[in-house]
Structure 1
């Protein structure tokens, strides 16, 4: 037996959102992994781990295949988390309805809640049933625009520490024309700034290119806004930590996600690197080019 607490990660979320990739990633991170764990067995499983004293990191996939999932999982997790021995985190994987439909069509698999009915009916029913669990999750990842490799990298950044994941920031840029990122904790709109897209020499560049970055940040309104936004974030990040969050996703949007939002995300991410681990991503930076190439 050991006095070291058990770090338990419960992997759940929408069917088709990437739980298989997630459990494989946790295996590579050194976690003891169990797929399709019935919620009723969680307390006994925790007791066995405590007695063994050899395992300190465990990842469990609990999903629709588990019997009595919705009636039991919340209570079981609450009971585990009330003990000093176990530190529990819920990882919830999500994706848009359209992306889930596409993945099911590609694999030709049936949704567990629509074995003989319409696929969308099963997805909608599952999303409604999972609402409470998603709200309780400490980590929510939207896999809509993530490849398996990108999801794996994101999980490594989030859960790479030995027993207690380090609080870190996810700073992303996006284009409002492509929809809001559903996993964002904080969303900021910078479309009020002059758009470099209408400057011919900047049109094919992005906010990562120095001339575009300088153009965006040289505006007095940009500097004034950034100072206030950054100041607010530095004040509230410690409060997120106190509430038990292991990560906060800050999404900055402009029209197409290529110029203004990219520049702001780059500056914000690099400014926070001295205080927290930061992952900077640009969700839609190449979307417009891909659309043009297909037309």
Structure 2
């Protein structure tokens, strides 16, 4: 599936998350950004939709536990299939929210929870979060809406996805642990397990890569500066090329043994360098 006007891959955004986290708002914002929006289509029909004629604009697909044929396994399989879809550039947008905030939202609106229509909202929220937990791990972009109002969520969605209709590239920098495997949908991966590990310093073990003491420990490794300088130079070289290809989102990940110290520090440091360059950057630490 390609853009009929340009021949470039068509952006496809799968919007998901627990009920009450803001999925409907996100779909509406994407529609305002000239996405074609389709909400709550049965999962088994989505592949047929994408196998059809090419689209002339980006596509936003809303999916959550209210879908008629929803199951965690089916949604995971759909994400994997869409990720392999030729001519489509898939982004999984997961809207997360604290369980207490979700409960308050349902209480304030006096809505029944779709997973517990005859029971308490607490039961519905717990069921929903349990079902969606494996999907959360597949997210390319994760937005926590716990402290966001409608206007702030709109601004956050626009910050990420206005790029789909323009030439601006959104960059996501992530950290992860190799023990849990590579994150899904990563474009560039750097292994930093060769750097000195703060874990073996008992004073640093309980801290993470955002702590200045951990940062100082890693910077003392003589291999850090030449490695990081080359990563920054490579990233700066590639970003304009990706933009010219019409790519709207680039994911960069750093991995270490536990995903707590070295990869977190590298992700934070690269994100700051790119932000200082004027790039649109977000950070995600999977293991934190």
1:68 is aligned to: 69
Shift in Å at residue 38 of structure 1? 1.2
Shift in Å at residue 246 of structure 1? 4.2
Q: How far apart in 2 are the matches of 1:134 and 1:269?
A: 25
2:11 is aligned to: 7
Query: How many pairs are equivalent?
Result: 217
Q: How far apart in 1 are the matches of 2:16 and 2:168?
A: 18
1:272 paired with 2:275, answer: yes
Q: What secondary structure sits across from 2:164 in the alignment?
A: coil
Q: How far apart in 2 are the matches of 1:271 and 1:5?
A: 25
1:40 paired with 2:23, answer: no
Task: Compute the TM-score of the two structures, normalised by the length of structure 1.
Answer: 0.61
CA displacement, residues 119-177 of structure 1 (integer Å, 9 cap, x when unaligned):
2221111111112111111111100011111111111111121369723369xxxxxxx
User: Is residue 10–residue 55 contact of structure 2 (8 Å, CA) maintained in 1?
Assistant: no
1:150 is aligned to: 152
2:182 is aligned to: none
Q: How does 1:157-172 map to 2 (within 5 A)?
A: 157-162=159-164, 166-168=169-171
User: Is residue 74–residue 133 contact of structure 1 (8 Å, CA) maintained in 2?
Assistant: yes
Shift in Å at residue 47 of structure 1? 2.1
Task: Compute the TM-score of the two structures, normalised by the length of structure 2.
Answer: 0.62
Q: How does 1:211-230 map to 2 (within 5 A)?
A: none
Q: How far apart in 2 are the matches of 1:269 and 1:191?
A: 15
User: Is residue 91–residue 137 contact of structure 1 (8 Å, CA) maintained in 2?
Assistant: yes
1:55 is aligned to: 56
Unaligned residue ranges in structure 2 (runs of 5+): 174-207, 243-247, 254-267, 284-288
Q: How far apart in 2 are the matches of 1:96 and 1:117?
A: 20
Cα 1:234–1:140 change in 2 (3 A) is farther
Unaligned residue ranges in structure 1 (runs of 5+): 171-186, 193-220, 250-264, 281-295
Q: How far apart in 1 are the matches of 2:168 and 2:17?
A: 20
Higher relative helix content? 1
Of structures 1 and 2, the larger Rg is shown by: 1
Cα 1:6–1:191 change in 2 (3 A) is closer
